[in-house]
Amino acid sequence: MAIPNDLSRRRFVASVGCGALTSRLSASSVDDKAKLPVVQKRLEKVFRAPCKAPNDLQATSDGLWILDQVDPNKSLQGSL
């Protein structure tokens, strides 16, 4: 029974690239990660949202609507 040779150019390049990436990641040490710069960030809350988990902002002719990520139907299932 013959074994088909399905090694394409794309698969060969992908495997060589993965091998190079794996060897590069394994060569990095904790000291290399300690030398990375730390970027300070700050969060400024402009206003309080009227819902638990604001997830989206919708612009309509009435104004801006804040959409909530929490499903109101899930809270009703626990009380049944």
Position 39 confidence tier, pLDDT thresholds 50, 70, 90:
confident
Domain membership flag for residue 2: no
CA gap 80, 76 in Å, rounded: 7
User: Is pTM, for the whole model, over 0.85?
Assistant: no
Position 26 confidence tier, pLDDT thresholds 50, 70, 90:
low
User: Domain of 71?
Assistant: 50-80
Domain membership flag for residue 70: yes
Domain membership flag for residue 26: no
3-state secondary structure (DSSP) of residue 33: helix
User: What value does the mean pLDDT take over residues 37-57?
Assistant: 85
State the residue for tokens 């909530």.
Answer: 68
Count of domains forming the chain: 1
Q: For residue 3, which phi and psi values (nearest 5 degrees)?
A: -95, 120
How far are the Cα atoms of 12, 14, 30, 61 from residue 53, in angstroms, in the given order? 46, 41, 37, 24
Domain membership flag for residue 66: yes
